[in-house]
């Protein structure tokens, strides 16, 4: 009975080492840092072990190896002999009883070592690695100090082998954007975050990768005033426009003078004063269309006017961008921001297909229908995606298949692709 207790204790001790090994290795350092800052007992020690895995793993391996040697030797000599004697009492020949007894003991010990000493502890460690790491870090750190000479020898030996193999040991914990996206998607499936929260977070990631050109309202869609226009035309524009601010051009071309607040002009008209646009022109910040969306955000924050004029590399006016464009890029378009007669960027039909606006950002379109786009691309909108695939200005009805989807131009607004129909194919169709 005493021998069985000794072997059981050795197996449990092996389980402690296996538990400690996987818990520390699987722990997220960021989580351990936050726990250490919060004063959690053992968190600082666990963080030290995770930042020097060579010494920690050497300590664990020394413990597991010694336990394996002791358990094998003790069980074979003590329990094996007793089981052999027991088998002989049942009439088994001595020549057969000894190997059978030792074999049975080794098999049973191996089974319990795998289950109790390895599998169960490791699964427990994976369940809550940071918490368990905090519990075992203190004893493991103390053991590594006691066995310091052997630990250092094993650590240096493993590093020498890595040197011979020309393998660099990169211990930096790097989290990629793709890993974060996968974690967010998993959190949504687990019910930790809502679907709307996931879309907002995804919008923030997309926003950081975008250029101003992908966010702006193009100049062809910009309502503006002209200093060369007569009073009647200006009054008509003020009556029909729903915008609180309008850009102003000097002669009706793309030579922009600034912006005006429409209420300033309305007040001037109501007071009976002569209409004088130049008096109310305010300077607007200018940003190149190749600037990043984050640069735009900083510019709008520091600007006195919530509108920026976008110019290309040649200095030509390309469009305008406002805080509403920034918010829309993250949270999606608001119905109140849509012009009269304008529909949502994407509408799903009953058959599962999508009716997509040509002006919809390509990243939003791809995420909406569940399709991947190349990281390097020369277009920003769904219309640009269609043009890149077709290679020419299309006519209504032209279509192509791409990555399991059939895209068709269903409406043209002059030379602009206005609406696109996207239908998932039953079988992935190769690119044309």
- Residue 23 to residues 50, 62, 122, 393, Cα–Cα distance (Å): 10, 17, 8, 59
CATH architecture of the domain 211-337 equals Roll (3.10)
The phi-psi region of residue 403 (left if phi > 0; otherwise alpha if psi is between -120 and 50; otherwise beta) is left
Which residue in this structure is represented by tokens 């600007």?
303
Phi, psi of 402 (to 5 degrees): -155, 120
The full DSSP string for 368-403 is HHT----SS-S--BHHHHHHHHH-S---TT-EEEET
Residue 83: per-residue pLDDT:
67
Model pTM above 0.85: no
Establish whether domains 211-337 and 346-424 are of one fold: no
Burial class (CB in 10 A: 0-12, 13-18, 19+), 339: exposed
User: How would you classify the pairing of strands 317-321 and 405-413?
Assistant: unpaired
Fold classification of 346-424 is: 3.30.465
Q: Which of helix, strand or coil describes residue 361?
A: strand
- Domains in the chain: boundaries: 2-164, 177-206, 211-337, 346-424
- Residue 268 to residues 107, 263, 272, 403, 420, Cα–Cα distance (Å): 97, 9, 7, 57, 45
Residue 91: per-residue pLDDT:
67
CA angle (307 as vertex; 301, 308 as ends), nearest 5: 90
CA distance 230 to 21: 80
Q: pLDDT tens digits, the chain, 432 residues: what are they?
A: 677 788 788 889 989 989 988 888 888 887 888 888 888 888 888 888 888 887 888 888 888 888 887 777 666 666 666 767 777 676 666 667 767 777 777 788 888 888 988 899 989 888 888 899 999 888 888 888 888 888 888 888 888 888 888 877 655 556 677 778 778 888 888 888 888 888 888 888 888 888 898 889 888 888 889 888 888 888 888 888 888 899 999 876 778 889 999 888 888 888 878 888 888 899 999 999 999 999 999 999 999 989 999 998 888 899 999 998 888 888 876 665 555 545 567 888 888 899 998 888 888 888 888 888 887 788 888 999 999 999 999 999 999 998 889 999 999 988 889 999 999 987 544 444
Which residue in this structure is represented by tokens 């305010």?
282
């Amino acid at each position: 009975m005493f021998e069985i207790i000794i072997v059981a204790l050795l197996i449990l001790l092996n389980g402690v080492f296996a538990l400690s090994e996987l818990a520390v290795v699987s722990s997220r350092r960021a989580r351990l840092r936050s726990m250490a800052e919060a004063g959690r007992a053992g968190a600082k020690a666990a963080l030290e072990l995770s930042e020097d895995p060579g010494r920690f793993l050497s300590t664990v391996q020394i413990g597991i190896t010694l336990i394996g040697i002791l358990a094998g030797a003790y069980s074979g000599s003590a329990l094996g002999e007793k089981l052999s004697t027991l088998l002989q009492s049942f009439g088994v020949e001595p020549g057969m009883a000894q190997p059978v007894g030792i074999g049975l003991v080794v098999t049973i010990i191996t089974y319990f070592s795998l289950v109790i000493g390895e599998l169960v502890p490791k699964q427990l460690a994976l369940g809550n690695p940071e918490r368990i790491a905090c519990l075992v870090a203190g004893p493991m750190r103390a053991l590594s100090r006691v066995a310091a000479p052997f630990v250092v020898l094993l650590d240096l030996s493993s590093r020498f082998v890595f040197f011979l193999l020309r393998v660099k040991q990169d211990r930096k914990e790097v989290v990629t954007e793709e890993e974060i996206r996968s974690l967010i998607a998993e959190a949504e499936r687990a019910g930790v975050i809502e679907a709307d929260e996931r879309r907002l977070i995804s919008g923030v990631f997309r926003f950081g990768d975008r250029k101003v050109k992908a966010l702006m309202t193009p100049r062809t869609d910009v309502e503006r005033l002209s200093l060369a226009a007569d009073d009647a035309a200006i009054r008509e524009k003020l009556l029909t426009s729903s915008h609180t601010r309008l850009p102003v051009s000097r002669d009706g071309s793309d030579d922009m003078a600034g912006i005006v607040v429409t209420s300033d002009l309305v007040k001037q008209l109501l007071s009976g004063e002569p209409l004088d646009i130049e008096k109310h022109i305010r300077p607007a910040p200018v940003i190149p269309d190749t600037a990043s969306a984050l640069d735009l955000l900083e510019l709008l924050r520091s600007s006195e006017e919530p509108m920026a004029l976008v110019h290309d590399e040649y200095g030509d006016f390309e469009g305008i961008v406002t805080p509403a464009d920034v918010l829309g890029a993250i949270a999606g378009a608001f119905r109140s921001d849509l012009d009269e007669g304008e529909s949502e960027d994407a509408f799903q039909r009953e058959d599962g297909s999508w009716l997509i606006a040509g002006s919809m950002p390509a990243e939003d379109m791809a995420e909406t229908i569940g399709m991947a786009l190349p990281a390097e691309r020369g277009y920003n909108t769904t219309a640009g995606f269609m043009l890149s695939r077709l290679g020419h200005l299309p006519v209504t009805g032209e279509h192509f298949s791409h990555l399991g989807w059939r895209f068709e131009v269903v409406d043209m607004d002059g030379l602009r692709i206005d609406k696109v129909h996207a239908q998932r194919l039953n079988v992935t169709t190769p690119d044309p």
